């Protein structure tokens, strides 16, 4: 096996090792809801979540899910010359609905030519054995990722951001999911209101302890029309600077097992909806700064591994 040294195990590297070529995610909006919006758990959603449910809003332009997928695949073929794709149910909570409704939505895209994977973003409190069995039924022929929002392990923060579940409830959902043949990716956010370096370290420690297959690190940004925007305008919340985020994200990565697949290293705001901070639009620069930071930290010298 060819020896390859790296600072973290990137998603692109993981996919190329598995499929032998570039694989692109196609983001989908299935029009599903969220228990933290419809009154089941709360109203308004998390304080940072916009009207698109942290998604693309594609359903407004193209309601049909299959058409969304085909359009996304055609775009990625032209832009990246990709030939294989992962259907990514991104917007809102994509296991929140009747089992047969979910089955119909997944079936709309999993059988499309060149789809080699399925990724489903959801909340840890929107899971059941029946839904996990359904997702697992695709694993004999598809790579299936279940993406769970953790955000932080601090229950005080989870309450403040109106998350609608505790860390303990997250663990219940995670443990249930781990019983099935699915790849699990966790989402965390750096820069949440009231959190400091110790909170970041505590979250990183817990992520390292439970050892998910993958991880997405998001920078907190402020979108129009969200409760977080009101906090920002009232000077009750100040977002991190780019340098502060790079420092904390690098610290977080150093604590994560080196075989954890890092799917994301920063946020990805919609430019037309972004209030602040402007640097979150500099995605490639932020990633490069994190990579440079890790490269210059001596502790990474002993954390090289073989893939």
The reply to whether 3 falls in a domain is no
DSSP state of 161: T
Q: For the chain, 307 residues long, give each residue's pLDDT as a single digit of tens.
A: 333 445 799 999 999 999 999 999 999 999 999 999 999 998 889 999 988 766 565 555 567 999 999 999 999 999 999 999 999 999 999 999 999 999 999 999 999 999 999 999 999 999 999 999 999 999 999 999 999 999 999 999 999 999 999 999 999 999 999 999 999 999 999 999 999 999 999 999 999 999 999 999 999 999 999 999 999 999 999 999 999 999 999 999 999 999 999 999 999 899 999 999 999 999 999 999 999 999 887 554 344 433 3
pLDDT of residue 58: 56
The reply to whether 258 falls in a domain is yes
The reply to whether 272 falls in a domain is yes
Burial (CB count within 10 angstroms: exposed 0-12, middle 13-18, buried 19+), residue 40: middle
pLDDT of residue 301: 38
Q: Residue ranges of the alpha helices (H) in 48-142?
A: 58-61, 65-80, 99-110, 129-136
The reply to whether 307 falls in a domain is no
Burial (CB count within 10 angstroms: exposed 0-12, middle 13-18, buried 19+), residue 78: exposed
Q: CA–CA separation, 32 vs 34, rounded Å? A: 7
pLDDT of residue 307: 32
pLDDT of residue 297: 74
8 A C-beta contact, residue 5 and residue 303: no
The reply to whether 4 falls in a domain is no
Q: How far is CA 304 from the centre of its chain?
A: 25
DSSP state of 158: H
Q: How many domains does the chain have?
A: 1
Burial (CB count within 10 angstroms: exposed 0-12, middle 13-18, buried 19+), residue 156: exposed
- Collapsing DSSP states into helix, strand and coil, what is residue 73? helix
pTM for the whole structure: 0.92
Q: CA–CA separation, 279 vs 286, rounded Å? A: 8
The reply to whether 199 falls in a domain is yes
CATH number of the domain at 43, please. 3.20.20.70
36 CB contacts (<8 Å, ≥6 apart)?
Answer: 42, 43, 44, 45, 46, 123, 162, 163, 164
pLDDT of residue 62: 61
The reply to whether 230 falls in a domain is yes
DSSP state of 43: B
The reply to whether 42 falls in a domain is yes
Structural domain that includes position 279: 9-298
């Amino acid at each position: 096996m060819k020896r390859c040294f790296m600072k973290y195990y990137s998603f692109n590297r993981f996919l190329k090792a598995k499929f032998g070529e570039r694989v692109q995610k196609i983001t989908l909006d299935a029009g599903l809801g969220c228990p933290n919006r419809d009154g089941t758990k709360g109203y308004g959603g998390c304080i940072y979540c916009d009207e698109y449910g942290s998604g693309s809003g594609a359903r407004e332009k193209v309601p049909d899910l299959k058409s969304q997928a085909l359009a996304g695949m055609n775009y990625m073929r032209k832009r990246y010359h990709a030939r294989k794709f992962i259907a990514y149910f991104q917007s809102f909570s994509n296991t929140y609905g009747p089992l047969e409704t979910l089955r119909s939505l997944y079936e709309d895209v999993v059988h499309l030519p060149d789809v080699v994977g399925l990724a489903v973003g959801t909340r840890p409190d929107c899971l059941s054995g029946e839904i996990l069995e359904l997702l697992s039924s695709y694993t004999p022929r598809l790579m299936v990722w279940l993406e769970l929002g953790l955000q932080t392990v601090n229950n005080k923060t989870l309450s403040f951001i109106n998350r609608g579940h505790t860390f303990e409830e997250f663990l219940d959902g995670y443990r249930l999911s781990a019983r099935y043949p699915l790849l699990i990716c966790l989402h965390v956010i750096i820069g949440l209101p009231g959190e400091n370096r110790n909170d970041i370290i505590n979250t990183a420690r817990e992520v390292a302890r439970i050892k998910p297959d993958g991880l997405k690190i998001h920078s907190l940004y402020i979108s129009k029309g969200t409760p977080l925007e009101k906090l920002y305008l009232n000077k009750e919340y100040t977002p991190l600077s780019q340098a502060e985020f790079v420092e904390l994200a690098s610290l977080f990565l150093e604590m994560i097992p080196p075989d954890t697949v890092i799917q994301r290293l920063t946020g990805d705001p919609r430019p037309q909806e972004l209030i602040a901070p402007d640097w979150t639009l500099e995605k490639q620069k932020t990633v490069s700064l994190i990579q440079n930071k890790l490269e210059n930290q001596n502790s990474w010298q002993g954390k090289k591994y073989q893939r």
